[in-house]
């Protein structure tokens, strides 16, 4: 890849009089080396798997490439391979319609979790079990990871900038890598600029023709510029396209998947490029071709203009075409869209995008959800789903590096849609995730149950048509792991630590969306003494559990059996029959008031910490629950127009809207 192709000649000597000079300078070259997002020589690629879920199923089942296959979710289709598309089958079709179009269609249902089962599985009867199954995207997420690994393996580690944009697409900023290859091929570029002045123009590239091999090269308008000599931006994009071709070949060779790619100067253009010619092709948009390429588009096809913003622009300016919007002066855009949005739109339709390729996939929140048709009407049923949600989210947290404390969420939220399917009111409760102990699946399950318990306490909440657990407020590099030692510190320091720990466990924390102020627990007292001595109920529960045994793990011990169905209740001053209106989700205790119930939860928390210290665990060391997760929704940050009233489109992972609520 790094040996000079035969069609290169020598560069024109730098600074030599009479020679045509490049439009680029030595400063631009330095910007390329540092992957500056404003560098005009920048090279970015967007790589998108072809009919991704369908390919995963084909490879998994060993189905030949020319057989029509679609991936089914209940009665709908969520991925369709290219042979099936030739029959007119698309995601809009039902399975029945698709079979009418192509009787030989292989319709493979996605894997599902089944209520009460520990693991997801491919089940032949999944389509008939919409009420008891929840879609699992784990097989696709697993393949996504393998693909990412191949891509990263193929690029020099110190130069790579890869951003996972969704389950089947990545952006790669190739600038620094391209720079290195450029200098290998054209060592004269490594020389200092004439007069040591970085604003000096580069010599022209020494080439008569560029070999684009099998790339789809976006046309230029009319006779324009093809006659112009290639400049360094053409060369950098050519080198980028060589790298991408090799990456795609590696994915095909190692994992048997085809993908399509766009190669251009930024994310906006490369993304449009990858979709331009599918499947299994790459499209190159040279800088000189940008305007012509974009002018043929409807702007609603452009990233972040597909949503409400795009709709509003087409309504206001009565067009959907980039070519027509190009003639609208910036002042006119500003008068209708506001300053920031106008500038963003103005630049975008001209192919200007300086958003960074962000190698850290910044997940903002994770969501696991299920819609119930018919609705469910008991806490026991809901609790079974909470266990699945906890497993699902935990396995994604493991991927996010939570076990290594790389990132950690701060809050958990349970949304509960009350009423028959489609209608009703949404209730939600949020609480902080305790910062003093490692997160594990069980902790998430306990939190979810506590939140459910709070919602259920409101009374008259059943039936439930939709339930979702989400976590958010991710933070990098956590340092605040305290363990039980924090409680044993004396003096003012101890007060601070106690307060921190207790507030971290407060259900009524900052983001609590529903809880009325009077239900928030007091924060004026704390510490393990309080937890271990105060409540008779806690002692009783302690005795029941065994004094040095932390809350039980595993479905049976913390599942519906322990969800208080109002059977065994400790006796004592705090829960005299028949009141047990506030029931603990972890043990058989019941309480007369929500405050007592929350204090009891704090006791559980403190006891867990105690147990953790006792067994000397700094971190939970368990294998990722590969077989117990499902991907439903992950919000990510994305380069986007500035926020404004007209509903900035939110970047969600593709498939989310369709797959969230099995």
Summarize as ranges the residues that interact with ligand DCP (CB under 6 A).
48-53, 78-79, 91, 167-168, 278-279, 654-655, 658-659
**Residue closest to ligand DCP when measured from CB atoms:** 655
Distance CA(372)–CA(366), nearest Å, equals 20
Distance CA(121)–CA(384), nearest Å, equals 17
Closest CA relative to residue 316, chosen from 302, 337, 299: 337
Distance CA(646)–CA(399), nearest Å, equals 35
CB of 366 to Mg ion, least distance (A): 22
Distance CA(272)–CA(288), nearest Å, equals 16
78 binds, among ligand DCP, Mg ion, none (CB under 5 to 8 A by kind): ligand DCP
Nearer to ligand DCP, 119 or 652 (CB): 652
Helix, strand or coil, per DSSP, at residue 53: helix
CB of 651 to ligand DCP, least distance (A): 14
Q: What is the DSSP letter of 497?
A: H
Nearer to Mg ion, 49 or 584 (CB): 49
Nearer to ligand DCP, 71 or 237 (CB): 71
654 binds, among ligand DCP, Mg ion, none (CB under 5 to 8 A by kind): ligand DCP
394 binds, among Mg ion, ligand DCP, none (CB under 5 to 8 A by kind): none
Nearer to ligand DCP, 110 or 204 (CB): 110
- Give the β-pairing of 282-284 and 259-264: parallel
Sites for Mg ion among residues 43-72 (CB under 5 A): 48-49, 52
79 binds, among Mg ion, ligand DCP, none (CB under 5 to 8 A by kind): ligand DCP
Distance CA(359)–CA(364), nearest Å, equals 15
CB of 79 to ligand DCP, least distance (A): 3
* Neighbour-count burial for 32-51, b at 16+ CB within 10 Å, e otherwise: bbebbbebbbbbbbbbbbbb
Neighbours of 212 (CB within 10 A): 16
Nearer to Mg ion, 78 or 322 (CB): 78
Nearer to ligand DCP, 48 or 596 (CB): 48
Tell me how many degrees the CA angle 558-559-565 measures, rounded to the nearest 5: 105
Q: 441-457 and 594-614 helices cross at what angle (nearest 10)?
A: 170
Q: What is the CA radius of gyration of the chain?
A: 29
Nearer to ligand DCP, 95 or 402 (CB): 95
SS3 content of the chain, % helix, strand, coil (to 5): 40, 15, 45
Nearer to Mg ion, 267 or 370 (CB): 267
**DSSP track, 474-534:** -EES------THHHH--HHHHHHHHHHHHHHT-TT-TT-SS--GGGSPP-S--SHHHHHHS
277 binds, among ligand DCP, Mg ion, none (CB under 5 to 8 A by kind): none
646 binds, among ligand DCP, Mg ion, none (CB under 5 to 8 A by kind): none
257 binds Mg ion (CB under 5 A): no
Nearer to ligand DCP, 48 or 540 (CB): 48
Neighbours of 323 (CB within 10 A): 16
Q: Which of the ranges 160-168, 248-256, 408-416, 545-553 carries the binding residues for Mg ion, by CB under 5 A?
A: 160-168
Could you give the C-alpha distances from 489 to 236, 492, 502, 548, in angstroms and in order?
60, 9, 15, 21
Q: Which residues contact 514 (CB under 8 A, 6 or more apart)?
A: 427, 428, 429
Q: Which of the ranges 94-102, 161-169, 312-320, 640-648 carries the binding residues for Mg ion, by CB under 5 A?
A: 161-169
Nearer to ligand DCP, 274 or 597 (CB): 274
168 binds Mg ion (CB under 5 A): yes
CB of 103 to Mg ion, least distance (A): 26
CB of 46 to ligand DCP, least distance (A): 11
Helix residue ranges per DSSP H, 517-639: 528-533, 536-545, 555-558, 594-614
Distance CA(579)–CA(616), nearest Å, equals 39
Placement of tokens 């588009």 in the chain: 297
CB of 368 to ligand DCP, least distance (A): 16
CB of 266 to ligand DCP, least distance (A): 20
Helix, strand or coil, per DSSP, at residue 424: coil
Task: Judge contact between 134 and 113, C-beta under 8 A.
Answer: yes
CB of 98 to Mg ion, least distance (A): 19
CB of 309 to ligand DCP, least distance (A): 20
**Residue positions counted in the chain:** 662
655 binds, among ligand DCP, Mg ion, none (CB under 5 to 8 A by kind): ligand DCP
Task: Judge contact between 65 and 257, C-beta under 8 A.
Answer: no
659 binds, among Mg ion, ligand DCP, none (CB under 5 to 8 A by kind): ligand DCP
CB of 344 to Mg ion, least distance (A): 26
CB of 51 to ligand DCP, least distance (A): 4
Neighbours of 229 (CB within 10 A): 12
53 binds, among Mg ion, ligand DCP, none (CB under 5 to 8 A by kind): ligand DCP
74 binds, among Mg ion, ligand DCP, none (CB under 5 to 8 A by kind): none
Nearer to Mg ion, 28 or 271 (CB): 271
Nearer to ligand DCP, 140 or 186 (CB): 140
Q: How many helices, marked H, and strands, marked E, lie in the chain?
A: 22, 23
CB of 78 to ligand DCP, least distance (A): 4
Q: Give the binding site for Mg ion (CB under 5 A).
A: 48-49, 52, 168
């Amino acid at each position: 890849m790094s040996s000079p192709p035969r069609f290169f000649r020598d560069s024109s000597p730098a600074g030599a009089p009479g020679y045509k000079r490049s439009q680029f300078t030595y400063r631009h070259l330095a910007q390329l080396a540092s992957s500056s997002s404003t560098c005009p020589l920048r090279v970015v690629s967007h790589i998108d798997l072809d009919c991704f879920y369908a390919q995963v199923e084909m490879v998994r089942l060993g189905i030949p490439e020319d057989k029509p296959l679609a991936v089914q979710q209940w009665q709908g289709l969520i991925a369709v391979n290219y042979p099936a598309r030739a029959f007119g089958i698309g995601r809009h079709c039902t399975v029945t319609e698709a079979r009418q179009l192509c009787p030989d269609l292989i319709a493979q249902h996605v894997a599902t979790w089944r209520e009460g089962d520990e693991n997801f599985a491919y089940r032949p009867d999944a389509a008939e079990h919409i009420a008891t199954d929840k879609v699992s995207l784990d097989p696709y997420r697993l393949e996504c990871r393998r693909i990412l690994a191949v891509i990263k393996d193929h690029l020099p580690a110190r130069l790579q900038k890869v951003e996972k944009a969704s389950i089947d697409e990545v952006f790669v900023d190739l600038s620094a890598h391209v720079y290195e290859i450029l200098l290998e091929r054209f060592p004269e570029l490594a020389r200092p600029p004439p007069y040591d002045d970085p604003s000096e123009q580069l010599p022209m590239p020494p080439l008569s023709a560029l070999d684009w091999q099998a790339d789809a090269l976006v046309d230029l308008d009319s006779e324009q510029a093809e006659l112009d000599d290639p400049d360094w931006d053409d060369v950098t994009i050519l080198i980028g396209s060589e790298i991408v071709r090799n990456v795609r070949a590696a994915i095909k060779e190692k994992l048997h998947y085809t993908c399509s790619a766009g190669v251009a100067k930024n994310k906006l253009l490369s993304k449009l490029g990858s979709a331009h010619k599918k499947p299994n092709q790459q499209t190159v948009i040279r800088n000189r071709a940008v305007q012509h390429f974009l002018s043929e588009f409807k702007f609603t096809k452009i990233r972040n203009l597909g949503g409400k913003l795009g709709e509003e622009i087409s309504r206001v300016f009565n067009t959907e075409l980039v070519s027509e919007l190009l003639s609208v002066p910036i002042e006119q855009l500003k008068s209708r869209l506001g300053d920031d949005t106008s500038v963003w739109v103005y630049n975008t339709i001209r192919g200007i995008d300086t958003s960074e390729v962000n190698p850290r996939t910044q997940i903002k929140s994770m969501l696991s959800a299920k819609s119930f048709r018919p609705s469910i009407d008991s806490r026991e049923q809901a609790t079974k789903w909470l266990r699945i949600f906890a497993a699902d989210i935990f396995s994604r947290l493991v991927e996010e590096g939570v076990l290594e404390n790389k990132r950690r969420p701060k809050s958990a939220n349970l949304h509960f849609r009350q009423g028959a399917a489609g209608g009703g009111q949404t209730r939600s409760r949020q609480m902080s995730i305790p910062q003093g102990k490692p997160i594990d699946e069980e902790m998430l399950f306990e939190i979810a149950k506590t939140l459910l318990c709070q919602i259920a306490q409101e009374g008259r909440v059943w039936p439930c048509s939709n339930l979702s657990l989400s976590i958010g407020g991710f933070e990098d590099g956590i340092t605040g792991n305290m363990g039980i030692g924090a409680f044993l510190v004396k003096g003012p320091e101890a007060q601070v630590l106690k307060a921190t720990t207790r507030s971290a466990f407060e259900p009524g924390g900052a983001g609590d969306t529903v809880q009325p102020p009077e239900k928030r627990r007091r924060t004026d007292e704390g510490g393990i003494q309080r937890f271990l001595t105060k409540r008779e109920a806690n002692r009783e529960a302690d005795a029941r559990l065994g004094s040095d045994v932390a809350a039980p793990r595993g479905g049976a011990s913390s599942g519906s059996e322990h969800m208080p169905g109002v059977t065994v209740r400790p006796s004592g001053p705090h829960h005299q029959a028949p009141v047990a209106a506030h029931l603990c989700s972890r043990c058989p205790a019941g309480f007369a008031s929500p405050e007592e119930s929350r204090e009891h939860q704090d006791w559980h928390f403190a006891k867990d910490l105690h147990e953790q210290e006792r067994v000397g665990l700094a971190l939970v060391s368990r294998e990722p629950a590969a077989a117990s997760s499902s991907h439903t929704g992950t919000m990510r940050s994305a380069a986007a127009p500035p926020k404004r009233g007209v509903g900035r489109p939110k970047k969600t992972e593709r498939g989310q809207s369709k797959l969230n609520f099995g």
